[in-house]
Amino acid sequence: MKRKFTILITFVCLTTSVFGQNFSELEKTVRAELQEKNAIGAGVAIIKNDRVIFAKGFGAANVETNAPITPDTIFQIGSITKTFTAAMILSMSQKGRLKLDAPIGDYAKNLSPKLSRMTLDQLLSHTAGIIDEPDEYGAADESLMANYIRSWTDDYCLFDGGRFFSYSNSGYALAGFTAQESGGKLYADLMTEIIFQPLGMRNTTFRPTVAMTYPLAVGHQTKQGERPTVVRPLPQDARLYPAGTMYSSLNDLARFAIAFLNGGKIDGKQIIAPSVIEKMSTPHAKQLSMADDSSYGYGLFMNTRRGVRVVWHDGSMTGYVASLLLVPEQKFAVIILGNTNNVVLNKTQEKAMETISSLKPKEEPKPKQSQPLTKAEMQKLVGTYSQPNRFKIEIFIKDGKLYIREFNQEMILSKIGENRFSFQSQVAKQTVEIYTQPAERGKPAFVHQYVWAFKKM
């Protein structure tokens, strides 16, 4: 009995204190945030240097079966897939199989003329000017990716390439298709060959019939005060594999994080070239709507949070959310996977960062003073701006004031700087900043909000 008691105590200590770190407060934060947001479950992992120092599942993988979440449970990770698409393409480029600055028409034939002239550099940095296509439900047949992308016309090119950042799932689908054409294999097989197998990501896949053979967290919808329900069917669109719908687990994603933090090495082996890691985490495009240092590299966002430079990507699919946050200078990472629609565990991520790193105190954003706005300035902005598959922005003048209309809500638009404006969003329930660019030298005017550029119609 004494021996069994000793083993139990040892196990409990390992779940709360590893390598001098105490995770009991983190676990309390996870459970409290899940309860607060009526979420069914999540997995959380912290990586430091070359090892996983915390990995644990909370809640259920399926509300109907109460199957537990473990570090090996796989989730759909949404747009974090883009990080892996970028790593694969850069690895191919490093080996001379693709050129980032060459027209993609050199590799992928029978594309529309404008699409053919785009480069992988533009597609991977979201500067190709291509529309965003956020579909989650579509073809299951992977061979249809080629027909689908070749059906795109020049209308997919909303702006000239190379001008500015505008997030695009379509752009990443096109980048992955270009790699597929060059590699002579289906995108999912190419990813397995170049990234998953070398890194030892054994349970990671794009294919639902493979995913269902592993411990799988199904997605859930939730409403406050109601029990979460299973999403049926789960999202699936093989045409956009390179942009999302990858399935992975805490343990598998941790292997990528370890390699990323250690110059591409894991288990003493060089799996990813250091130049690939460097290019992914180098800023290639400014996120115009953000007033801070937010930018995008290849497959990764980057900015500074509480004095720490972070590179990251989030993912969201119907029923799932995911976040991958990497801090290369301090060699740690935080991974959070969730299976409840739109439930982002921000408090959990911040607590995980505080547990492993010294952060500057939180600072409340200072309100920005509204600046005078002339009638001529207002008139230049008046119009309808479109990102076709997202939403429209209307800017108009009423009672001598400038207004913005989104989602049938009208809000006063205040000037806060050169080409910068803000409004109190009734949908997001927060202050939202936009960047505006008037028409110039034959190029259309646009508004940049969140991660998209909206073209003036």
CATH value at residue 243: 3.40.710.10
Query: Using an 8 Å Cβ cutoff, are 81 and 196 in contact?
Result: no
Q: What are phi and psi of 106, to 5 degrees?
A: -65, -25
Digit-coded pLDDT (tens) for 71-93: 999 999 999 999 999 999 999 99
Q: Dihedral, CA atoms, 223, 248, 325, 79, nearest 10 degrees? A: -70
Q: 325 and 399 share a domain?
A: no
Q: 107 and 246 share a domain?
A: yes
Tell the burial category of 200 from Cβ atoms under 10 Å away from its Cβ (0-12, 13-18, 19+).
middle
Assess if residue 6 is contained within a domain.
no
Average pLDDT over the chain, rounded to an integer? 93
Assess if residue 403 is contained within a domain.
yes
Query: What is the total count of domains within the chain?
Result: 2
| Alpha carbon distance 242, 96 (integer Å) | 21
Predicted TM-score (pTM) of this structure: 0.93
CB atoms within 10 A of CB 28: 11
Residue type, 35: Q
Q: Is 419 left (phi over 0), alpha (psi -120 to 50) or beta?
A: left
Range of the domain at 108: 21-357
* pLDDT in the model for residue 5: 33
Assess if residue 164 is contained within a domain.
yes
Digit-coded pLDDT (tens) for 359-373: 888 888 788 899 999
CB atoms within 10 A of CB 393: 20
Q: 294 and 384 share a domain?
A: no
**pLDDT tops 90 at residue 224:** no
**Is residue 204 very low, low, confident or very high in pLDDT (cuts 50, 70, 90)?**
very high
| Alpha carbon distance 209, 191 (integer Å) | 17
Indicate if the alpha-carbon torsion angle 453, 455, 456, 457 is positive or negative: negative
Which residues lie closer than 8 Å to 55 by C-beta, 6 or more apart?
Answer: 43, 44, 45, 46, 71, 250, 251, 254
Tell the burial category of 78 from Cβ atoms under 10 Å away from its Cβ (0-12, 13-18, 19+).
buried
| Alpha carbon distance 260, 450 (integer Å) | 27
Digit-coded pLDDT (tens) for 256-282: 999 999 999 999 999 999 999 999 999
| Alpha carbon distance 43, 54 (integer Å) | 10
Which of 357, 383, 398 finishes a domain? 357
Look at the block and give the residue holding tokens 């993988």: 61
